[in-house]
Structure 1
């Protein structure tokens, strides 16, 4: 794959890491200052149909509401106040460290899976090495696809059937005569 076409996943990952670092810092500052709530705030956990925050202030408001939701969830679970702050700080720090630890191959695979699933929710991207190892364990049908993007439409250049090892024929005379 050309280097220019591989840039999108890494640009998205860089943006994600920047935002996650900001969120982690915000969570730490907010948790240390105690998350106070008026009790009249509303927060929607599922935001897939809502517009993205239009400004940094809207983003910070959303992050604050998310933190309040997490604090309240842990309170309802019976966790002590001092443990809540420690738990959430560790959660955000761990999430950031795990995101930073992703390799270029991990980032590319995440991107390709999202891309493939945008066309077919059952589609999966398997890197060549992983596909060979996985194909011997799969019972379902699988194919390899070589794609070419020369603009808006993506062209399928080749389909490659999965290579499955053949079942070994038994060489014992007993099994041959009983068939």
Structure 2
């Protein structure tokens, strides 16, 4: 199980949780009762992780994966379409950030509409109540609030560019995994 958790980039506890809720139960057990994941289990884990990366709740992932008419290729096609959409949206945001950087270096003031475009429509204040409910209290939370409050526009532009690069790298990895699976 430790090897599977390392390969998948999840904790052993996460794998146990997936088993407990019936999302991913290992196909085999050793004589000592240890979980042993089959190739089919690993394919399902990949699907779970892809859907989670795309923002689906575990309950939604279970329903999607247990759909009787959907096979691995159907899931991969669906995930590919969602990733392409996300990539297109990120490309739009990247272009907006680049325009903002150009405007900044030329000391051109951005209009409110352009500022909204740079942020991709995201308004942190719309999510403060949920953030407080989920993670509020404690020193780490307060440290995070102070760091966020101190971020400049340039910091946010840099962070968004880094996030876009991470998502693009992830999409590239998934494309490689799909290609590798297709060759089998």
TM-score (norm 2): 0.32
Structure having the larger proportion of residues in strand: 1
TM-score (norm 1): 0.33
Structure having the larger proportion of residues in helix: 2
Structure of larger gyration radius:
1
